[in-house]
Chain A
Amino acid sequence: MFAYLVKRVFQAIAVMFVISLIGFAIQDNLGDPLRELVGQSVSEEVRQELRDELGLNDSFVTQYLRFAGNALQGDLGTSYFFKEPALDVILKKLPATMELVFGATIIIIGLSIPVGVYTAIYPNTILSRLVMGISIIGISVPVFLTAILMIFVFSVEYGWFPSYGRGDLVHVFGPWETNFATVDGWMHIMLPSIALASIMLPLFVRLIRAEMMEVLQSEYVKYAKAKGIRPWRIYFVHALKNTLLPVITVGGVQIGTMVAYTILTETVFQWPGMGFMFLEAVNRVDTPLIVAYLIVVGFIFVVTNTIVDLIYGLVNPTVNLARMGA
């Protein structure tokens, strides 16, 4: 188990190295930092001097090592626009995004398992066919369209939910303020979470349904019936546990992907998270912030996947984590 953990951590470090390399290459090639720093009135000689001073004329490797060294100490550069360390800017926005992703994940888990199981057990009912039809639409419609439609219907037409912002927040600690402590906060997070969940939910319903249908055909399910086990136990203990094994793996990747999808959702709902911030940073050519965002999202991705793989090993008895470390 420990050996496996160490192995996974090394893999994660390798992935982070590649991400940092890509991030740095972007910083190196996207615009001229001097233009952002000094404006137009400075002469070319002074610019050259400044370049030397800032180390911009050093070789790629030297510059990368400096960048990586700083990054390891938590310094991902300074945002041009906010004039603050880029990591601090992102960490302030991170809780809003993570709460949104958390809300969407709860919706996805809460709905996809019962709906997927139902449509697998009763594939021919009208309800199942309806669900499968809607899920195709859900997969096909892009998230910004879903979001705009939801604002139009539930905020503008009916006025049930607010259409933008986070509403009343309660401070937890550090930069973390939560939506989940007030009614107003709940109302504000509802529409963005549903919109964000709308892309992944149909995918998970279909995935769970397909896996479950396959498992229901297996010999061990037939054997459980032959032992006289009650149907609910066959479905929810014998079949569901086997169904969820492959779903866990896919789920880990998708949670990471969802962090990326927050860019669209947050922009439509003016949600003050790091996705919204990223789009603004792109508009302002705030290169250090863009790079820092890439690295932070990459880091979240790597961490969730590592955790999910460990969970998979713990849930699936046929995976021997001790042996996999060797």
Chain B
Amino acid sequence: MSLLSVRDLCVKFAMRDNTVTALNQISFDLAKGERLGIVGESGAGKSITGFALMNLLSRPGFVDSGNILFQGDDIAQMSDAQMRRIRGNRMAMIFQDPMVTLNPVLTIGQQMVETLMAHRKLSKSEAEQIAIVKLREVYIPSPAERLKQYPHELSGGMRQRIIIAIALLLDPQLIIADEPTTALDVTIQADIMELLLELCETNKVGLILITHDLGVVSQMTERTLVMYAGRIIEAGRTREIINDPQHPYTQGLINALPQQTAPGQRLKQIPGNMPSLTAIPSGCPFAPRCEYVQDHCRTDAPETVKYTHVEVACHEVNRLHSDKAEEMTR
């Protein structure tokens, strides 16, 4: 049985007189200890997916339909009290900006101890001992002294390590990391990612890594979902998606990487912008920006089909492939 199984998840936002669909029929699975990357542009619905899994969508967002089965329990149907016992305990989350994630008026120790005591019957000193062990695991020097410090006394990289330590406090099965290094210095980004990877591997923790950085995804994850306008448009093994992308959008993303362009040349951008959620075109949402677009792309929404080794939502994937084959033979 998989650790997490998301089926036809739809998330909507209630506006003044209508609703806007933010996530459209999202389905994916995560095996125990597996690492999954979710990539896409800003506004594609990556973070909303993460928060929906924690049942932490802030108003006016709500889960409209679908199931989120976590170890067999449906999170989408749970009461707040049931959900509270899962959050931070069996499923933890790492937020984007460590500078604003920790509470400024509580010490590191208070924020770690309260997390342990919210889920387990422990004395304060027992909880502190566990906190020190976890801080040591994320390579924080002199952890006992850190417990007495306030967040503002620590650097951004240090704070993110502490947040990772808090995520590991109760030995969860799943960690959701929402762009965990975007707000950090480039030199620290690699350290944090390496640490996260190491800890997930040694503790056999499942990871959902939400990012817009394809390089990070290729280093960190085994499988990847590519999201566009609230849909999954391509899903499969990370290596295959990076090396042989099928969807024109994924191809565009990979071609846009600086490594794909010779120095001095303009980067290969995907023309146009992602549609706003209030004006998603009927048919394929990527059609207005797609260079392979056909008439039926603009009217019919593409089904997700299995193509070679990935699942892809594109009408033209067969033709694309034959074009490519032709190119090769020529």
| A interface residues, Cβ below 8 angstroms from B | 218-220, 222-231, 233, 237-238, 241-242, 245, 315-318
Contact = CB atoms under 8 A, between A and B. Distances in A.
Nearest to B107: A317
A226 B87 contact: yes
Nearest to B163: A223
Contact of B86 (A219, A223, A228, A318): A228
A324 to B, nearest CB: 15
A229 B118 contact: yes
Given A220-B103, A316-B105, A233 B95 contact: no
Q: Specify which of A218, A222, A237 lies most central, judged by the most chain B CB atoms within 10 Å of its CB.
A: A222
Contacts of B114: 227, 229, 233, 237
8 nearest A-B residue pairs (beta carbon): A228-B88, A227-B88, A228-B87, A317-B150, A220-B103, A219-B100, A226-B93, A227-B115
A227 B104 contact: no
B324 interface: no
B104 A220 contact: yes
Contact of A218 (B92, B100, B107, B115): B100
B56 interface: yes
A187 B79 CA distance: 48
Interface in B90-118: 92-93, 95, 97, 100-107, 114-115, 118
A228 B152 contact: no
A248 to B, nearest CB: 12
B237 interface: no
Contact of B105 (A223, A227, A230, A241): A241
Contacts of A237: 106, 114
Contacts of A316: 105
B85 interface: yes
Q: Specify which of B58, B101, B152 lies most central, judged by the most chain A CB atoms within 10 Å of its CB.
A: B101
Contacts of B124: none
B108 to A, nearest CB: 11
B228 to A, nearest CB: 26
A250 B214 CA distance: 49
13 contacts: A227-B166, A228-B84, A228-B87, A228-B88, A233-B114, A233-B118, A238-B103, A238-B106, A242-B103, A317-B105, A317-B150, A317-B152, A318-B152
Q: Specify which of A224, A226, A237 lies most central, judged by the most chain B CB atoms within 10 Å of its CB.
A: A226
Given A226-B88, A227-B166, A228-B86, A220 B118 contact: no
Contacts of B152: 317-318
A225 B100 contact: no
B56 A220 contact: no
Contacts of A233: 114, 118
Contacts of B92: 226-227
Given A222-B56, A229-B118, A242 B89 contact: no
Nearest to B104: A318
A236 to B, nearest CB: 12
Nearest to B80: A231
Contact of B100 (A220, A227, A228, A241): A220
B102 A223 contact: yes
Contacts of B107: 317
A217 to B, nearest CB: 8
Contact of B54 (A226, A230, A315): A226
B119 interface: yes
A315 to B, nearest CB: 8
B80 to A, nearest CB: 8
Contacts of A222: 56, 58, 95
Contacts of A317: 104-105, 107, 150, 152
B105 A219 contact: no
Contact of B115 (A228, A242, A318): A228
Contacts of A230: 84, 118
B110 to A, nearest CB: 8
B101 A229 contact: no
A13 B325 CA distance: 86
A220 B101 contact: yes
B56 to A, nearest CB: 6
Interface in B49-70: 54, 56, 58
